[in-house]
Amino acid sequence: MATTKKQVISGYHRPVCPECECEMRPETNGVGVLDMASFGPYKIYDADLWKCPKCGKKVIGGFGIGALAHHNDDIFQPLVDAYQERDKLYKNYEYIKEGTDAN
């Protein structure tokens, strides 16, 4: 598949900052995103952390095709621990956490 300068290798468009109207840049590849359910950790994904070069806002995108593991898989906790040890683990709650800005 041919790509343009606006696309990453996967063929998807790079994230755009809606405030600055410019493409975001990859800041960290290979971050872990831990989906949190009402009962606790549920799934873990590998993704990329993007940052706006003008305002510094960040977004996580570039998720793989599916979850790396589910909570009942043997590899689940070792994966969570590995991302956490490298300070590359982000939690995705199914609700807005108290004390955070919903916007």
Question: If you count them, how many residues does the chain have?
Answer: 103
User: Half-sphere exposure of 85 toward its Cβ, with a 13 Å CA cutoff?
Assistant: 6
Contact indicator for 25, 53 with CB cutoff of 8 Å: yes
Rounded CA separation 62/77 (Å): 22
Tell whether the model's pLDDT for residue 102 goes beyond 90: no
| Spatial separation of the C-alpha atoms in residues 29 and 68, rounded to whole Å | 15
The pLDDT value recorded for residue 4 is 53
Model pTM score: 0.80
Q: Looking at this protein, which amino acid is placed at residue 80? A: V
pLDDT (tens digit per residue) in 5-64 = 555 555 678 899 999 999 999 999 999 999 999 899 999 999 999 999 999 999 999 888
Q: Are 47 and 60 in contact (CB under 8 A)?
A: yes
